[in-house]
Amino acid sequence: MTQKINIDELPVTAQFLREKRLLEDRGELALIADGQPFKHLGYFSLNPGDNHFRGGHYHKVKTEHFYVISGELEVSLVDLETDEKATIRLRSGHRVEIRPMCAHRFRAVEHAQVIEYYDALYDPEDDHPCHDFA
């Protein structure tokens, strides 16, 4: 599974870094990606609930990137080449990259806000449903 997904946490610092979080009394500044081209930028929010999820699919071509603005999510993953399954938790400040052939489904543990971005135009032909989550 580690070949299909990468999770990191933006450092919280006042130093000059191209990718970081700055937390101040007046609010938060997040420098999510600097120097990476992208053609698609989206946002979604997700509320907790038994049938509330986003995703439930995989891509054969596209690599997706997500940044969790707020909240906490549980992400179910299936590596379609090895059948390995995993569930991970993401929280505010986490950035995740999901590579092709890794099915993913997001479920909110608490209300969450997420930015989605990638370096291609949206292609509905590259969304393939998956129902085999752990």
Q: With the C-alpha atoms ordered 34, 38, 44, 49, is the resulting torsion angle positive or negative?
A: negative
pLDDT tens-place values along the chain, 134 residues long: 779 999 999 999 999 999 999 999 999 999 999 988 889 999 999 999 989 999 999 999 999 999 999 999 999 999 999 999 999 999 999 999 999 999 999 999 999 999 999 999 999 999 999 998 86
Cβ neighbours of 41 (radius 10 Å): 10
> Looking at residue 121, what is its pLDDT?
93
User: Is there a contact between 71 and 91 (Cβ–Cβ < 8 Å)?
Assistant: yes
Task: Determine the pLDDT at residue 36.
Answer: 84
The CATH code of domain 5-129 reads 2.60.120.10
Give the DSSP letter of residue 44: E
Domain ranges of the chain: 5-129
pLDDT at 52: 96
CA–CA gap between residue 16 and residue 41 (Å, rounded): 24
Q: What is the pLDDT of residue 134?
A: 64
DSSP letter, residue 15: S
Half-sphere exposure of 61 (CA within 13 A, CB side): 9
What is the distance between the alpha carbons of residues 115 and 125, in angstroms, rounded to a whole number?
22
pTM of structure: 0.92
**Phi, psi at 84, each rounded to 5°:** -70, 140
